[in-house]
Amino acid sequence: MDGELKDPLKDRDAWSMANCSVARTLEIAGNRTALLILREAFLGTRRFDDFARRVGIGEPAASARLKELTAAGLLERVPYQEPGQRTRYAYRLTGKGRDFLPVLTALRQWGDTWAADEQGPPLVVRHEDCGAEVHAVLRCDDGHDVPRGASFVEAGPGLIRVAPDSP
């Protein structure tokens, strides 16, 4: 089970996943288009047409995903106006959206390792201060890096328990 979380709880079948944070996150940003729009927002894309073009989707799909991400609070619409033009709207990350960066970093990191072409990854993210590559890591609240297999799961305050199925 190297790399999996240790599960010391014997009553796993009594857990309801109705309050699962992973499932709820996937409901918000768990489709390919939403993740790619968030990638573009982190790369500085702001305008509707640029999102659609850079993600490679049609305007209806771009509109739907941008509305969903805005309704979920990851993006916000902000007005802008070019000289002589009507007011239009751009999109920018909110604090909630900016907090999604480690998720995209972990996805990129996994893809760089397991899904990149033989030429290597298309982008390298570097620390502005020292130039070293940026990686997602697991770290505990006391500041320790946590290697694979060195963590465990325990019931949280939002865990819903149900009666396990009878054999």
pLDDT digits (tens, 9 = 90+) for 106-129: 999 999 999 999 999 999 999 999
For residues 16-28, give the mean pLDDT: 92
One-letter identity of residue 141: D
CA distances from 120 to 36, 107, 115 (A): 19, 15, 9
pLDDT over threshold 70, residue 59: yes
Answer whether residue 109 is part of any domain: no
One-letter identity of residue 140: C
Answer whether residue 160 is part of any domain: no
pLDDT digits (tens, 9 = 90+) for 72-96: 999 999 999 999 999 999 999 999 9
| Number of domains the chain is built from | 1
CA dist 60 and 46 (Å) reads 17
Question: Which pair of structure tokens corresponds to residue 72?
Answer: 């979920």
pLDDT over threshold 50, residue 139: yes
Answer whether residue 73 is part of any domain: yes
- 78: containing domain: 31-94
